């Protein structure tokens, strides 16, 4: 595996929350970065010779390829992809509309799939390609009425394991990181959970950096990150 200074990592949703923490941690670790952000958003790490900031819109079908092309034009290679961009909406079983579910399915499932498809040939060339999908404990169990969100995260878990199987012989290792509540703006309105007890995004970033640094023969398929004891996990 190449040293961090030679490896190129793409990180989606790199302007806030977990994505911003990941970008800062990887920059400090010496990785070369390609940060995907939506129009008008300020990235966590400013553009530089070692950091490309590119437009990425998870809702647009052609955005993944455009971002991959921009990354290749700047760095000539892709060694890792961190699918962090995602949304949380409430979509219960008894709701009569599927608009919210469709939006989450597009952003949380189809967008990571499209990103992986676009980056996969280049991850194969790396020989030690990495795909890290930021999922959720909601992809491992169901604890509330938000069936739609859980459905998308369960699907993201399936995508992760599909990539592990497909990419193994090419040196690609895929990992799903599944945290409980993380102290970001996405959880700002969560009631019943003390914010001080939530997981700091910097801790998730440290796990991402660890996964990216492991050799091919020490692969981690899933990382479940609890903030409190759960019997089933």
Catalytic residue status for 149: yes
Exposure b/e, 69-107, CB count within 10 A at least 16 = b = ebbeeebeebbbbbbbbbbbeebeeeeeeeebbebbbbb
Of the candidates 31, 56, 149, 181, the residue annotated as catalytic is 149
CA dist 179 and 220 (Å) reads 15
How many angstroms separate the CA atoms of 153 and 24, rounded? Answer: 25
Task: State the number of CA atoms in the 13 A half-sphere of 226 facing the CB.
Answer: 8
Identify whether the C-beta of residue 137 lies closer than 8 Å to the C-beta of residue 179.
Answer: yes
Which of the residues are catalytic?
149
């Amino acid at each position: 595996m190449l040293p961090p200074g030679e490896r190129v990592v793409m990180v989606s949703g790199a302007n806030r929350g977990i994505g911003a923490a990941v970008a800062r941690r990887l920059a400090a670790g010496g990785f070369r970065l390609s940060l995907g952000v939506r129009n008008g958003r300020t990235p966590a790490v400013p553009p530089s010779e070692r950091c490309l900031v590119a437009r990425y819109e998870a809702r647009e079908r052609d955005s993944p390829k455009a971002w991959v092309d921009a990354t290749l034009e700047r760095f000539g290679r892709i060694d890792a992809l961190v699918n962090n961009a995602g949304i949380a909406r409430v979509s219960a079983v008894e709701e009569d509309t599927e608009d919210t579910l469709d939006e989450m399915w597009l952003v949380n499932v189809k967008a990571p799939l499209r990103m992986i498809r676009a980056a996969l040939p280049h991850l194969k060339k790396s020989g030690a390609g990495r795909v890290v999908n930021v999922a959720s404990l909601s992809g491992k169990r169901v604890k509330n009425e938000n069936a739609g969100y859980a459905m998308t995260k369960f699907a993201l878990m399936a995508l992760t394991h599909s990539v592990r199987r497909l990419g193994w012989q090419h040196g690609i290792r895929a990992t799903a990181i599944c945290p409980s509540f993380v102290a970001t703006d996405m959880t700002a309105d969560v009631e019943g959970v003390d914010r001080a007890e939530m997981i700091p995004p910097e801790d998730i970033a440290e796990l991402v950096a660890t996964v990216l640094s492991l050799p091919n023969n020490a692969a981690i398929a899933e990382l479940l990150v609890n903030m409190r004891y759960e019997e089933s996990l």
